[in-house]
Chains A and B, each alone.
Chain A
Amino acid sequence: MSETSDDRIINELSNKEYEAGFVTDIETDVFEIGLNEDIIRRISEKKNEPEFMLEFRLKAFEKWKTMTEPNWANLKYEKPDFQSISYYAAPKNAAKYNSLDEVDPDLIKTFEKLGIPLEEQKILSGVAVDVVMDSVSVHTTFKKTLEEKGIIFCSISEAIQKHSDLVQKYMASVVPVGDNFYAALNSAVFTDGSFAYIPKGVRCPVELSTYFRINQANTGQFERTLIIADEGSYVSYLEGCTAPSRDENQLHAAVVEIITLKDAEVKYSTVQNWYPGDKNGKGGVYNFVTKRGICKGDNSKISWTQVETGSAVTWKYPSTILKGDNSVGEFYSVAVTNNYQQADTGTKMIHLGRNTRSTIISKGISLGHSNNSYRGLVKIAPKANNARNYSQCDSLLMGDKCGAHTFPYIESENATAIVEHEATTSKVSEDQIFYCNQRGLSTEDAVSLIVNGFAKEVLNKLPMEFAMEAQKLLSLTLENSVG
C-alpha cells in the first residue's frame, strides 16, 4: 500500500527545524566549569549578596551533595555532568539602563528576531518586561507605574539586596532547599530570576512578564522566581521562553515559588519554547523545573497555565498546596512533543484546608518518535473536609511511533472528599484531515486547526496577547512540516 497521508504528515513534521535558533554575540563574563564551594562563594560575591544568602547557598550545596538525580520519571536521557557546566555567565556591560538606547544593540536585535521588540511591547500591550538574558537582568520596564501602586517587580538579585526581609521570609518557604535534587542545585547556584510582591488589596494593573533566554554555550540556567501576593491582591504573571540552537545539551533547573495570602490570587502563565533538539534527537534543553505555590491564606487562589512545546527533556510539575480554607488551585497544561522530545509533566494538588477545590486539565500532543507523560498527584489530607478535585487528561497522538502515558495518583484520607478523574486518548485521523482537505484546507492548516481545537480549553485560560502567541507557537511547531 502506498504511503498514507498520516505517514506523510509525520515524516514532514519531523523535518521541521527550530526557528529561533541563532546566537547573540555579546561579550560575557564566564566562570570556569565546575561546581564547588569556592564557585558558590564567588557567585555570591559577584552578586554582592548579604551574608544570609551565602549561607543559604552553602546549606543548599551541602544538601545537594548528599542527593542523587531522580530517575522515577518516564524519561530516558544521559545524565548531565554537573562538573562540566559553568555556573555563572553575565554580560560584561551589565549595567542598569535607563532607556532602550543604552542597551547593547545586539541584544535588541535578538529580541527583534524573536518578535518581541521591547519598545513596541511597552507601548502596545502595556506589559512590564523584566528580561533575563544569561542570568542577569538587563532591562526592567514600567517599574514606575508599578512603584506607584507599591508593587515590587525586579530581579531577584535586586530583591535580595533591597527587600531582604521579604526574601528571607519567603524564599524556600514553598520549595525547601532540599526538596529535590534540582531544587537543591538551583538554591546553591541560582544567578538571577524575578521577584514580585503585590501589596495588600492591590490589583496589579498590568501583566507582569519575563522573557527568558538561554544564550551562552554550556551555561546552565538556574533562575529563581519568587512571587508574593499579599492579602486581597491579584497579579497575572507571564513567563515566555526561547533559546538558540545548540548541539550541547543545556541544563535548565529553575525554581518558582508563589505565596498567596488571604483572598489573594496569582495567575501564572508559561509559554515554553526552548530548543527541543534536532530531528534526530541531538541537542536540546534539559528542563528540570520545580514550580510550586502555596495558597497560604483562606479564599486564595493559584492558577498555573502552561504551553510547553520546547526542550528535549521536560521534568516539570507546577503544584499547589491548598492550605487556606476555601482556597482554589488550577492547572491547565498543553504539552506538545515532536521528534525525540520527552516530557514528563503534570501537577500536584495538595489539599490541606477545608472546602479546597482543584481543577486539572492536561492536554498532551505527541508527534514523531516523542513520548509525552502526564503525572499527577491529588492528595487530600485528613482535615481537608469537603475537598473537591476534578482532573481531565487528554492525549492526542499523530502517527504510530509516539507515545502518550498517564500516571494519575490519588491519595485521599478524608471520606468527605470528591475526586474525579477522566482521561481520553485520541488520534488525529486520516479521516479528519481528509474532511478538512475536502473543505479547502491544506493538511498543515487542518492539523493546526485540529490541534488548536484539542488544546482550546487550555489556550482560553491564557491572557489575550499570550494566547495569540501560544496559538502561533502551536501552529509553528506543526508548520513547515506538512503539505
Chain B
Amino acid sequence: MAKTLISIKNLKASIEGKKILKGINLEIKEGEVHAIMGPNGSGKSTLASVLAGREIYEVTNGSVTFQGKDMLSMSPEERSREGMFLAFQYPVEIPGVSITNFMKAAVEQHREHKGLEQLTPSEFLKMMQEKKDLVEIEAKLANRAVNTGFSGGEKKKNEVFQMAMLEPKFAVLDETDSGLDIDALRIVANGVNKLKNKENAFLVITHYQRLLDYIVPDVVHVLYNGKIVKTGGKELALELEEKGYDWIKKEND
C-alpha cells in the first residue's frame, strides 16, 4: 500500500483575526492526485498559502505532517527543500533576475539540502533543456527575467517548468487554470501529467472542472466556508460542474 505523504489534521488558520480555515482534514498518499474545488472565498488559496508557510496567515490549531516531519515548524524555504512546491495563482515578477539564474540558485539550495553534489554549469543547462522539452515551453523563456512582462499563460507555464526543475514530492497547484486559454491549459496539464509518478502527489486547487478533464484526480474535495464538506471520486467534479455550488451551500449553511 502506498505511503501517506502528507497528513493535515484539524488545520485552522486566520488572517488579521479573521478565521479562514476552520478545521481541515486531508490525507494524501504517494501517487495520488487530489483536487480541491469550491466557491470563491471558501479558503482554497488560503490553504495553499498556509501549506507553503506564508507568514501573514496565523495557524491557530492543527498539524501538518509531511513525510513524517512537522511541516508547520519549518520555514518556507525548508518546506521547499523538503519537497513541497506551490505553483502560484499570481506568480510575482522579479525584474532583472533571469529564470536561468533563479533556477540555478534554487536547484543549488535543493541539492545542498539533499547532500547531493552541485551540478556543473553544463549539467545544469542540460537539465534546463530537458525540462523545457518536457513541459514544452519555449527555449527563450528561460533567458527572460522571472515572470517579467509574461502573459498569464507564460507565467503558468513557467510555474510548471520550475516544478519540473525542482522535482517536488508534493505539489500544490493554486488555480493554475485561471486565465489560461485552451492550448495553454493543455500544455500545463500535460506537464503535470508527465511529472506525475508513483512517489509524488499533487493537490490541484481549482474553481472549474475544466482542468480536471486533463489532470484526472483520484479524489475530489469540496471546500466551503473553511471546511471540507464533501469528498468523492472524479465524478464529483462533474456533478459540481453541472449543478454549481448552490446545493453545497444550501446543505451546509
Contact = CB atoms under 8 A, between A and B. Distances in A.
B145 A440 contact: no
A454 B95 contact: yes
A456 B146 CA distance: 14
A167 B79 CA distance: 64
A4 B58 CA distance: 12
A438 B75 CA distance: 9
Contacts of B16: 1
B101 to A, nearest CB: 7
Question: Which of B75, B94, B166 has the largest number of chain A CB atoms within 10 A?
Answer: B94
Contacts of B102: 436, 439, 449
Interface string A439-452: 11111010001101
Interface string B78-92: 011100011010011
Contacts of A457: 96
Given A440-B81, A441-B109, A434 B95 contact: no
Contacts of B56: 1, 4, 430
Interface stretch (B47-55, B60-68, B207-215): B47-55
A430 B85 CA distance: 18
B77 interface: yes
Given A439-B102, A441-B105, A432 B92 contact: yes
B159 to A, nearest CB: 10
B110 A440 contact: yes
A454 B92 contact: no
Nearest to B107: A440
Contact of A453 (B55, B80, B85, B96): B96
Interface residues of A, number: 28
B126 interface: no
Contacts of A2: 55, 58
A27 interface: no
Contacts of A436: 94, 102
A439 B58 contact: no
Interface string A278-321: 00000000000000000000000000000000000000000000
B48 to A, nearest CB: 10
Contacts, number: 82
Which among A5, A426, A431 has the highest number of chain B CB atoms within 10 Å? A431
Interface string A446-477: 00011011111100000000000000000000
B55 A4 contact: yes
B161 to A, nearest CB: 12
A398 to B, nearest CB: 14
A437 interface: yes
A437 B97 CA distance: 15
B80 A438 contact: yes
A435 interface: yes
Given A2-B55, A440-B166, A435 B94 contact: yes
B54 to A, nearest CB: 6
A454 B96 contact: yes
Contacts of B53: 437-438
A24 interface: no
B76 A453 contact: no
Given A5-B55, A435-B94, A442 B77 contact: yes
B81 to A, nearest CB: 5
B80 A437 contact: yes
B236 interface: no
Contact of B76 (A432, A437, A452): A437
A429 interface: yes
Interface string A327-343: 00000000000000000
Contact of B166 (A1, A439, A445, A455): A439
Given A435-B92, A438-B86, A449 B97 contact: yes
Interface string B204-232: 00000000000000000000000000000
B113 interface: yes
Nearest to B84: A438
Contacts of A450: 94, 96-97
Contacts of B52: 434, 438
A333 to B, nearest CB: 15
A445 B85 CA distance: 18
A452 B102 CA distance: 12
Contacts of A432: 92-94
Nearest to B81: A440
B105 A449 contact: yes
B41 to A, nearest CB: 21
Interface in A1-43: 1-2, 4-5
Contacts of B88: 435, 438
Nearest to A456: B96
With most chain B CB atoms within 10 A of its CB, the pick from A426, A432, A452 is A432
A453 B100 CA distance: 12
A430 B49 CA distance: 13
Contacts of A443: 77
Contacts of B145: 453
A451 to B, nearest CB: 9
B141 interface: no
B43 to A, nearest CB: 19
A425 to B, nearest CB: 13
Nearest to A5: B55
A432 B166 CA distance: 18
Contact of A429 (B80, B91, B92): B92
Contacts of A438: 52-53, 76-77, 79-80, 85-86, 88
A431 B92 contact: yes
A452 B94 CA distance: 11
A430 B54 CA distance: 10
7 contacts: A1-B56, A426-B95, A434-B76, A438-B76, A441-B77, A449-B102, A453-B94
Interface of B: 16, 52-56, 58, 75-77, 79-81, 85-86, 88, 91-97, 101-103, 105-106, 109-110, 113, 145, 162, 166
Given A432-B92, A441-B109, A449-B101, 15 more contacts: A2-B55, A4-B55, A430-B56, A434-B54, A434-B55, A434-B76, A436-B94, A437-B75, A438-B80, A439-B162, A441-B77, A443-B77, A453-B97, A453-B101, A454-B96
Q: Across the A-B interface, give the 10 residue pairs with the lowest CB-CB distance, nearest first.
A: A453-B96, A453-B97, A437-B76, A440-B80, A439-B106, A440-B109, A431-B92, A435-B92, A440-B81, A437-B77
